[in-house]
Amino acid sequence: MNATDLAFSPALEQAQLIRRKEISPIELTQVYLDRIEQLNPQLGSYFTVTAELATADAIAKTEQLTTLDPGELPPFFGVPISIKDLNPVAGVPCSYGVAALRSQIAGHDDGIVQRLKQAGGIILGKTATSQLGSLPYTEPPGFAPARNPWNLNYTAGGSSGGAASSVAAGLCAIAQGSDGGGSIRGPAACCGVVGVKPSRGRISFAPIGDCLSGIATNGSLARTVTDAAAFLDAVSGYVTGDPYWLPDPHPSFLAAATDANPGGLRIAFASKIPPVGQASPELQQAVLTTAQILDALGHTLEPAGLDFSGLIEPFVTVWQTSVAFFGIPPEILQPMNQWLLDRANAVNSGQYLQAVAQMQIVARRLVAFFERYDALVLPVYLHPPIAIGQWADLSPEAILQNVINWVAPCPPFNATGQPAIALPMGFDAVNVQQGLPLGVQIIGRPGADSTLLALAAQIEAAKPWHQQRPAIANQ
């Protein structure tokens, strides 16, 4: 197997190669470090590359292979992974996408980082994020933009844009991301990878307890559904003091995805998001194609009308407080985040709690929809990726409205806390010259992550994607 094929092998296959001693953690890590050195200057996937730390960890793990029983190794032993630069890794810079903080060294590991280290992952570095994770495109001032590996003129999405582009371009095996309004699913759709936003309470936010009144969660970006399922097995579970949590699955998420047999389900689909509008024609077709695949698999498909009225205003009120959450001086923030911070500071505590209450009331109505359906197919965004810098000269007010009109299918399910997965569904047939992937998302019932992963694995088997590679990946 050549280095490029190895870099694009699923993470679980890489772990098996290491267990069988067909490749060492040192060799695999060096493959990715070489690719990052070559391609990251063009892609902007990583803010920080931890080559020395990764190499030292790979050497240690290679030595451990001589004494450890392969059957006792953790699931991602020796597999190179990446961490989004909103999540601290001890001894590594954590900038949150703020250029003035790019040399700020984290003093602790975030809870999910601890879990990934315990799972055996080797951390290659910190991936690019929009500043404070506030925008669905990754162009923070003072950093190179995260570019789409399929077409460098277009965004990789955001805020987990670097994570998505790193997986799509073969710069890591699997990536951690976070999603407070589509920040995993959007980049996954832009870059043609799998993106999982798990159910609320599935992954701990330790050492803090709650993030943005429950709308945000950590998750993964991967090349295959089974990789994403194994990632979820590795990082989920209660940590002492969590304000909410879910029981561990039986069997595992990986078993559910591997079996890929959720039974016959009743599934709704839609491509219109009231009160915002209709998805672009190519994304409407992606939803219809997915529905046709599911129908052929024996599920019952029904077109459905959804109404997200009453959610946008309270959601924005809660979401914009993420800028205030970081406690970063406004003078070092970009104008958009300064404006959001001013808006957040103008909301008093009573108004914030009223917004949370209204968001939760609407969320209950949305969850009630799933009393009739097991899953829902929607576009991830309402139109394909924007060009790099396309909104750079707009006013903050115009940017916010454009963001709402683009990402509208995602935030409702941050509000409800339901699991959702973004899946690649081919290329943009309307604008073929752009060569951009298309994605859909599937939303499951609350807590039904296993069913959702099994359903996604069925679709993946019917429409394989993970062997597709952007041209830049073969350089």
202 vs 403: CA distance, rounded Å: 27
421 vs 179: CA distance, rounded Å: 11
Mark whether 159 is an active-site residue: yes
Which one from 9, 95, 134, 159 is the annotated catalytic residue? Answer: 159
Mark whether 82 is an active-site residue: no
288 vs 296: CA distance, rounded Å: 12
Strands 272-273 and 174-179: unpaired
Which one from 9, 61, 82, 84 is the annotated catalytic residue? Answer: 84
Please list, residue by residue across 330-362, b when 16 or more beta carbons sit within 10 angstroms of its beta carbon and e when fewer do: eeebbebbebbbebbeebeeeebeebbebbeeb
Phi/psi for 440 (5° steps) reads -125, 160
Mark whether 271 is an active-site residue: no
Which one from 45, 183, 252, 280 is the annotated catalytic residue? Answer: 183
Annotated catalytic residues are: 84, 159, 183
